[in-house]
Amino acid sequence: MESSNHFHIEQLSATLTDGSNAATENTQQELDVLVVGAGFAGIYQLKHLRDLGYKALLVDNGSEYGGTWYWNRYPGIRVDTSAPQYQFSDPDLRKDFEFKQRFPGGVEIRKYLKHVTERWDVRKDTKFDTYIASAAWDNEATKWSATAADGTTYRAKFLVLCTGCLVDEFVPKWKDVDKYTGQFFHSSSWPRKAPNFKGKKVAVIGTGASAVQIIQELANAVDELTVFQRTPNTALPMRQVDYDEVNKPIPEDEVRESLAVRMKSFCGFDFTFLPRKCFEDTPEKRLQTYENLWKEGDFKYWLGTYIDTLFVEEANRECYNFWRDKTRARIHDPKVADLLAPMEPAYAFGTKRIPLEQGYFEIFNSPHVELVDLKATPIERFTEKGIKTSAEEMPFDIVIAATGFDALTGSLTRINLHGKDGTLLKDQWKDGVKTYLGLTAHNFPNLFFQYGPQAPSVLCNGPTCAELQGNWVIETITHCRDHGISTIEATEAAEEEWRGNVVQLAGASLLMGTNSWYVGANIPGKLREPLVYLGGVPKYYENLNAVRDHGYEGFVLEGGDGTRVSKL
């Protein structure tokens, strides 16, 4: 998960109405590159741009590095990518830092990023507590003019948005939620002063990846826990390892080898799909294959299984059936098992984000934990003391909305981004997202965004994507500098072709048959469309290199005097 330009409406309102803020100063700063978002991608951009001699500045609305790891502080938060993969490839960073767990928690990830930023010495070129509210392209100056909430203006030749894909929190418009007198907050807005859960009745609405981690932590900390589920989560077992004298961290040579093969993997890990189809194996061999993948305790059962699992319904069902039977065996009550791991799949396995869990399903065997089926008994409204479903009124001391995000596009469209003709990006995308390479957009010269729509993004290991896309952006900016190019802009034709490619790949998979945030279906009124490139990391990297090697095919490049350098 990457996110960095996190900002709440009430914060923005307070900033813009506070007479003591700096909005009246109208300060201005001239830059070569403005990078927005201080997560993995933004940190990587700043370090390498600065090494190449650019005057670059990294800004973030948070008060420290981390992006999603800064904002999300809920109990139980941890990465579900194993430690050797969830780091930068720079070997110098590993000389005096070792992760203490196979799947590090949020505190350890923040420690790692503190180590990285100190080693790379990027703090002097970072400005925190800075929310970029708007940015507009200046045709005459051929620069971006970005305005922060405090009134400061940054003028930059290039604007790079590393604002993340799971940032813009979504809370359904429940009736009378304002009348509820208990504590209520979204999972990504966890109070900095942790709530006291002892002896409390707590509700968690949602069963996505964050909810699974929260539920696991709260189950033993509260008096009563009620989980409101709309659709079951096909979570996989996490085989956590605490590194110590017995279980030693992975040796450096194995870490190097693990990181070296990321570009060959469909999702940027050190493993990829098996090179054979499901029914090419006998039933006995399939069962053994599933057992072996299951025991790994990572994403291999999802993203290292048979190559046709996400594309062929019968193969997908085989994979689901094995997961279902393994999971139901852990649940005592058959009625609860029918909700958590139904005999018939609620959606194709792997077409919703799969998290790793540690005893999640066993939690529902406890007498103080209740599971509410929102499809059978939806929430009608909030009351002063709790929640009223279609079946009953339930009192709660604390309600946690683990209800997700406006994924992939929300962090970009929330900023008032004005293209060269004045059109806002959110308006340009209202009838469907159109990007070129999942990195750029027509009408928005010299603008790049990472970890966004129509790229591998959420189906790519975060640090891998930060480096993969980051290197291409840095190479492109440097190409422009070294060849006297003032502007680079994607053509409409290139956008259309790329969108068609994304749609075709998604249509060949089982993804479009599932209502998930991968297709924008979790946000009322949002156009349902494929938001993730499903060609895999190797093919995506091949596309990026081909565009570069063919003189930036699909872009219009113009010199400083407005002369067209190329149109391919």
Q: Are 179 and 16 spatial neighbours (Cβ–Cβ below 8 Å)?
A: no
DSSP of 295-315: HH-STHHHHSSBTTTTT-HHH
Single-letter amino acid code for the residue at 525: G
Q: What is the pLDDT, as a whole number, of residue 562?
A: 64
Nearest Cα residue to 528 out of 516, 537, 540: 516
Pairwise CA distance, residues 366 & 331, whole Å: 10
Pairwise CA distance, residues 70 & 188, whole Å: 10
Flag whether pLDDT at 15 surpasses 60. Answer: no
> CB 35: neighbour CB atoms within 10 A?
30
C-alpha neighbours within 13 Å on the C-beta side of residue 182: 21
Enter the tokens of residue 302.
Answer: 């999802």
Q: What is the pLDDT, as a whole number, of residue 560?
A: 73
* Mean of pLDDT over the chain: 94
| Banded model confidence at residue 245, pLDDT cuts 50, 70, 90 | confident
Single-letter amino acid code for the residue at 440: T
Q: Are strands 379-382 and 386-389 parallel, antiparallel or unpaired?
A: antiparallel
DSSP code for 366: S
Q: What are the angstrom distances between the C-alpha of 480 and each of 34, 558, 559?
A: 16, 9, 9
C-alpha gyration radius of the chain:
24
424-442 pLDDT per residue, tens: 999 999 999 999 999 999 9
Q: Sort 220 into a burial class: Cβ within 10 Å, 0-12 / 13-18 / 19+.
A: exposed
140-157 pLDDT per residue, tens: 999 999 999 999 999 999
Domain locations along the chain: 9-79+109-168+407-567, 177-401
Q: What is the pLDDT, as a whole number, of residue 566?
A: 58
Nearest Cα residue to 263 out of 556, 541, 547: 541
Pairwise CA distance, residues 326 & 173, whole Å: 36
Nearest Cα residue to 514 out of 487, 496, 532: 532
253-278 pLDDT per residue, tens: 999 999 999 989 999 999 999 999 99
SS3 159: strand
> CB 23: neighbour CB atoms within 10 A?
18
Nearest Cα residue to 92 out of 268, 258, 270, 255: 255
Pairwise CA distance, residues 192 & 339, whole Å: 34
**Region 465-493 average pLDDT:** 97
Pairwise CA distance, residues 552 & 568, whole Å: 7
What are φ and ψ of residue 492, in 5° steps? -65, -40
Pairwise CA distance, residues 365 & 96, whole Å: 43
Secondary structure E strands in 128-257: 132-138, 143-148, 153-161, 183-186, 201-205, 224-229, 236-237
Enter the tokens of residue 137.
Answer: 């392209």
Q: Are 74 and 82 spatial neighbours (Cβ–Cβ below 8 Å)?
A: no
Burial 108-129 (b: 16+ CB within 10 A, else e): bbbebbeebbebbebeebbeee
DSSP code for 123: G
Q: Sort 230 into a burial class: Cβ within 10 Å, 0-12 / 13-18 / 19+.
A: middle
- Please give the CATH architecture assigned to the domain spanning 9-79+109-168+407-567: 3-Layer(bba) Sandwich (3.50)
Predicted TM-score of the model (pTM) = 0.94
38-97 pLDDT per residue, tens: 999 999 999 999 999 999 999 999 999 999 999 999 999 999 999 989 999 999 999 999
Pairwise CA distance, residues 315 & 157, whole Å: 49
**Region 272-296 average pLDDT:** 98
Q: Sort 385 into a burial class: Cβ within 10 Å, 0-12 / 13-18 / 19+.
A: middle
Q: Are strands 356-357 and 369-373 parallel, antiparallel or unpaired?
A: unpaired
| Banded model confidence at residue 32, pLDDT cuts 50, 70, 90 | very high
**Region 409-436 average pLDDT:** 97
Q: What are the angstrom distances between the C-alpha of 503 and each of 32, 432, 492, 500, 529?
A: 35, 11, 16, 5, 8
198-244 pLDDT per residue, tens: 999 999 999 999 999 999 999 999 999 999 999 999 999 999 999 99
Q: Are 361 and 243 spatial neighbours (Cβ–Cβ below 8 Å)?
A: no
100: CB partners within 8 A, 6+ apart:
108, 242, 243
Burial 294-319 (b: 16+ CB within 10 A, else e): beebbbbbbbbbbbbbbbbeebbbbb
Q: Are 1 and 122 spatial neighbours (Cβ–Cβ below 8 Å)?
A: no
Residue 489 pairs with which residues in a beta bridge? Answer: 556
157-171 pLDDT per residue, tens: 999 999 999 999 999
Q: Are 350 and 318 spatial neighbours (Cβ–Cβ below 8 Å)?
A: no
Residue that has been written with the tokens 């803020």 in this structure: 21
Q: Are 290 and 483 spatial neighbours (Cβ–Cβ below 8 Å)?
A: no
